[in-house]
Amino acid sequence: MEIVLENFTKRFGDLTVIENMNLKIKEGEMLALLGPSGCGKSTTLFAICGIHRVDEGRVLFGGQDVTRVPTQQRNIGVVFQSYALYPHMTVAQNIAFPLTVRHEDKQTIKKKVGEMAELVHIEELLGRRPEQLSGGQQQRVALARALIRKPGALLLDEPLANLDAKLRLEMRSEIRRVQLETGISAVLVTHDQVEAMSMSDRIAIMKDGKILQVASPNEMYQRPENDFIAGFLGNPPIAFLDGIISAGNVKISSGNIEFPCPENIEKHPDGSHISVGIRPEFYQPGNPYKIPGTVSFVEIQGRENLYDIKLKDGNLLRSIQSANVSPLSPGTKVDWGVNPEQLFFFDNSGKRL
Amino acid sequence: MSAKLGYIFIAPALALVVLFFLAPVLMTGVFSMTNMSTATGITGGSYQITPSVLIQLGDQGFDRKILKRIGSESYSISEKGLLAATKADVKTELVEELRERYLGETFASRRLFERFLKKLDNRPRSIRTLKSTSPHFRKSLIKERFASTKELLQSLEEMDLGLTQVQTDELVDASYTGWIWTGENFRKMFLLPETKQILLNTGFYVASTLLLFNIGFALVLAVTTFYLPKGQAALFRALWFLPRITPSVLYVLLWKWLTWDTGFINAVVTNFGVTPRNWMLDTAANAWVTVIMINGFIGASMGMILFSSAITSIPKQMLYASEVDGANRWQQIRHIILPQLKWPILFITVYQTLSLLTSFEQIFLSTDGGPGSSTEVWALSAYHTALDNYWGNLQYGYGAALALVLVVVGVIMSLIYLRFFRFDELIKTPRIEQ
């Protein structure tokens, strides 16, 4: 089912949290609402499922206006951050709850619960109570409960936040698998860019109640619309250096380097200040324009080594390199460089050029 | 830390517990095994053969001839009588005459004795003097008070009744006016038909108040205020707290004003042609309704507070989840909220049962067990029996026995409830999820 938010505005008292948001979730896709905490992504989710009243604008499900339809009748499945399992019911009763309140007959319920349990691999846990389950198992139960009555859409509110690292990895692919198998439209709210990038078809990145860009993970990583998005995506994060355009060249003062303007910023006026974004994978030994510095911190990640390089004027660059060679120790002087084609340039307002 | 310090700290509390809880309970136990009453007093008694003792013995099959003799009186001229007469300012000449000439003579009845007196030289001049003189020489076991068994036995011997040992013992026991140790109270409690009525009353009172108000109404209040905006909810709860914080005398007085013949209800309903009546005491049903409401409004507030806080402690997301799952308000209450109030409900049930069983001040102040004894509950009955009854004979012993039953029920229920609620489990270390 396609979900559309039209000029959606949400206020809490005098505080406007979200103003005039427009968003479309396509049939069968998984869209990630990505942003730092407090940016309004959960609020958007709650507006879609009807827990929060929409102050202005419309919510459309498959072309139908459901703005004034109560939560109970929207037929949406939600997995909450805390899973919100009912502690006094068994796993089977939890999963069956949406059908129980619709008074479906016991045989049907039992059959459907069995199917859902099979889908999320918890057949052997049906008789247990939530308190007897691990976090990952609770997550699966919540997922089964959200999906059992074939909802029009699945909403996931920070579903992995309460899990430890290993389970998170496992559940990431599990949730995606279930979503693909059922072909359901899904919205994933998360503040973790890795989660958003690895699980979703498209990402809507949010800041201060506004959607900055909606694009596929790859597109967004390759072509972020502004410096915030560039900074939010990618781990280890991008580093920014100040630059100035003069006579068709880009001058980066802290690196004491100068190179001809790439095509996309050729037309930018002379003398304007710009910000240059350098991703860790593009600050490497082999590149032509050298920015010398000193290794200030080394993080050994096994397959890769991550270096923090302190420049002469105190700015910091990051570099991620394959761990084929033995790692450098802090204090080592390095002379690594950049390639202009791989850099991002942002103007004063933060927009990418 | 030394254990000694702990004992020192706990000593005042321990002393208070012993003084104000254990000692009264112990005294109740002691009293319940006696037949103490206003009649017997609580100190020792004396021996007195009253007409009612004689009737009682007769009913028990005591030889009636002997009883008749004990009950009869005679008049004899003895030193004791003469001395009493002198003290009472009977003429000295008469006393001297009696002492010198007639000492030791006995007369079978007052008529004979007075006839004899009238013939004496120094006879009393007026009928009035005659009548006041004769009693000094009366000799009777009836109405005479003997301080000890020995004195009683001596007097019985003087009468030469030819009593057997068994008969003597029976007479001594029956004539004792003080209290004695006895298990009779409990037998009496078991046999009296009133006990059954009071037991039924108590059960009805506790069950109705508990179900309708302390649990039922409290739940309604807690759930409805949960769905109200915060400010209104607080106001509502504060309102329902008033009966609890109003002094009980004042609170019950307000109910009386409401229900009296000239009270508020009547002032309103007379306008519609309803005959004024006492809405509290008109019928037993009226009395029950008022008693249950009076107590229920007080008791509901505690459940309301406890249930309210239990409901607010249910995670918000869980309530959201149920709404998303399609549950309407009623289903949310029924499937999500109520099941999670299981423990608070059980707790209130047990706690309020105990408190309803033992507290009776509201009933005492409102209906005082009436009309008749239709709202007389166990605790009130114990109070009435022991400390405040119409007949004036306060039966401390029997009242204590009634109270002891309440104490025993209370202790047993407390033990069950301590075991049942497993307070130690409430402080067990939480399971950390990983």
Q: Looking at the predicted structure, is the pLDDT value of residue B358 above 80?
A: yes
Contacts of A102 in chain B (CB under 8 A): 326
Q: Using the 3D structure, point to which of B140, B175, B210 is the last residue of a domain.
A: B175
Looking at the fold, whether B115 and B218 belong to one and the same domain comes out as: no
CB pairs under 8 A between A and B: 71
**Mean pLDDT, rounded, for B125-146:** 80
In which band, very low, low, confident or very high, does the pLDDT at B423 lie, cut at 50, 70 and 90?
low
Contacts of A93 in chain B (CB under 8 A): none
**Mean pLDDT, rounded, for B328-340:** 91
Contacts of A97 in chain B (CB under 8 A): 322, 325, 327, 335
In which band, very low, low, confident or very high, does the pLDDT at B351 lie, cut at 50, 70 and 90?
confident
B3 inside domain = no
B22 inside domain = no
| Contact call for B326 and A101, based on CB within 8 A | yes
B398 inside domain = yes
**What's the pLDDT score for residue A234?**
85
Looking at the fold, whether B199 and B144 belong to one and the same domain comes out as: no
**Mean pLDDT, rounded, for B55-79:** 81
Nearest CA in chain B to A93: B335
Q: Which helix (H) or strand (E) holds B311?
A: helix B284-312
Nearest CA in chain B to A80: B317
Looking at the fold, whether B259 and B374 belong to one and the same domain comes out as: yes
Q: Is A200 exposed, middle or buried (0-12, 13-18, 19+ CB in 10 A)?
A: buried
B69 inside domain = yes
Contacts of B323 in chain A (CB under 8 A): 50-51, 71-72
Tokens of A120: 């999320």
| Contact call for B336 and A135, based on CB within 8 A | no
Least confident of B120-129, B219-228, B416-425: B416-425
**Mean pLDDT, rounded, for B203-229:** 93
Q: Using the 3D structure, point to which of B146, B175, B204 is the last residue of a domain.
A: B175
Looking at the fold, whether B307 and B193 belong to one and the same domain comes out as: yes
Using an 8 Å Cβ cutoff, are B336 and B319 in contact?
Answer: yes
Residues of chain A with pLDDT under 50: none
Residues of A with CB under 8 A from a CB of B: 46, 49-51, 71-78, 80-82, 84-89, 97-98, 100-102, 131, 134-135, 145-146, 149, 164
Nearest CA in chain A to B430: A131
In which band, very low, low, confident or very high, does the pLDDT at B433 lie, cut at 50, 70 and 90?
very low
Which CATH homologous superfamily contains domain A3-232? Answer: P-loop containing nucleotide triphosphate hydrolases (3.40.50.300)
pLDDT in tens, B189-211: 899 888 999 999 999 999 999 99
Q: Looking at the predicted structure, is the pLDDT value of residue B434 above 70?
A: no
Who has greater pLDDT, B393 or A70? A70
In which band, very low, low, confident or very high, does the pLDDT at B425 lie, cut at 50, 70 and 90?
low
Using an 8 Å Cβ cutoff, are B121 and B97 in contact?
Answer: yes
| Contact call for A76 and B315, based on CB within 8 A | no
Residues 6+ apart with CB under 8 A from B63: B167
Mutate to test the interface with A, among B311, B314, B320, B324 (most CBs of A within 10 A): B324
Q: Using the 3D structure, point to which of B113, B142, B175 is the last residue of a domain.
A: B175
Phi, psi of A116 (to 5 degrees): -65, -45
Looking at the fold, whether B320 and B220 belong to one and the same domain comes out as: yes
- pTM confidence score: 0.75
Q: Please name which of A63, A68, A1, A66 lies closest in space to residue A31, comparing C-alpha atoms.
A: A1
Shortest CB distance from A86 goes to which of B318, B326, B433? B318
Least confident of A131-140, B142-151, B315-324: B142-151
Shortest CB distance from A101 goes to which of B317, B325, B340? B325
Looking at the fold, whether B317 and B363 belong to one and the same domain comes out as: yes
Contacts of B340 in chain A (CB under 8 A): 87-88
Using an 8 Å Cβ cutoff, are B282 and B269 in contact?
Answer: no
Helices (H) and strands (E) in chain B, counts: 24, 5
- Going from N- to C-terminal start, the domains of chain A cover 3-232, 239-346
Q: Looking at the predicted structure, is the pLDDT value of residue B418 above 90?
A: no
Q: Looking at the predicted structure, is the pLDDT value of residue B432 above 70?
A: no
Q: ipTM of this predicted complex?
A: 0.83
**Mean pLDDT, rounded, for B39-59:** 81
**What's the pLDDT score for residue B280?**
86
Percent helix, strand and coil across chain B, each to the nearest 5: 70, 5, 25
In which band, very low, low, confident or very high, does the pLDDT at B334 lie, cut at 50, 70 and 90?
very high
**Mean pLDDT, rounded, for B51-77:** 81
**Mean pLDDT, rounded, for B79-95:** 82
Q: Looking at the predicted structure, is the pLDDT value of residue B124 above 50?
A: yes
| Contact call for A78 and B321, based on CB within 8 A | yes
Nearest CA in chain A to B320: A51
Looking at the fold, whether B154 and B229 belong to one and the same domain comes out as: no
Looking at the fold, whether B120 and B97 belong to one and the same domain comes out as: yes
Looking at the fold, whether B290 and B209 belong to one and the same domain comes out as: yes
How many angstroms away from the CA of B344 is the closest CA of chain A?
Answer: 14
Q: What is the CATH number of the domain that holds B215?
A: 1.10.3720.10
Who has greater pLDDT, B423 or A144? A144
In which band, very low, low, confident or very high, does the pLDDT at B397 lie, cut at 50, 70 and 90?
confident
Residue type, A223: R
Give me chain B's average pLDDT, please: 85
Least confident of A320-334, B4-18, B299-313: A320-334
| Contact call for A135 and B327, based on CB within 8 A | no
B282/B278 Cα distance (integer angstroms) = 5
Shortest CB distance from A51 goes to which of B323, B326, B335? B323
Tokens of A277: 């974004």
Looking at the fold, whether B192 and B237 belong to one and the same domain comes out as: yes
**CATH fold of A239-346:** OB fold (Dihydrolipoamide Acetyltransferase, E2P) (2.40.50)
| Contact call for A135 and B321, based on CB within 8 A | no
**What's the pLDDT score for residue B371?**
86
B433 inside domain = no
- How many CB atoms are closer than 10 A to CB A325? 9
Structural domain tally of chain B?
Answer: 2
Q: Looking at the predicted structure, is the pLDDT value of residue B157 above 80?
A: no
In which band, very low, low, confident or very high, does the pLDDT at B422 lie, cut at 50, 70 and 90?
low
| Contact call for A149 and B331, based on CB within 8 A | no
**What's the pLDDT score for residue B372?**
84
How many angstroms away from the CA of B219 is the closest CA of chain A?
Answer: 19
| Contact call for B434 and A135, based on CB within 8 A | yes
Using an 8 Å Cβ cutoff, are B48 and B144 in contact?
Answer: yes
A340/A193 Cα distance (integer angstroms) = 26
**What's the pLDDT score for residue A246?**
81
| Contact call for B325 and A88, based on CB within 8 A | no
**What's the pLDDT score for residue B281?**
86
Looking at the fold, whether B362 and B275 belong to one and the same domain comes out as: yes
Phi, psi of A267 (to 5 degrees): -80, 0
B31 inside domain = no
Tokens of B19: 């003084």
**What's the pLDDT score for residue B365?**
92
Q: Which helix (H) or strand (E) holds B155?
A: helix B149-159
Segments forming the whole domain that contains residue B163? 47-175
Using an 8 Å Cβ cutoff, are B103 and B77 in contact?
Answer: yes
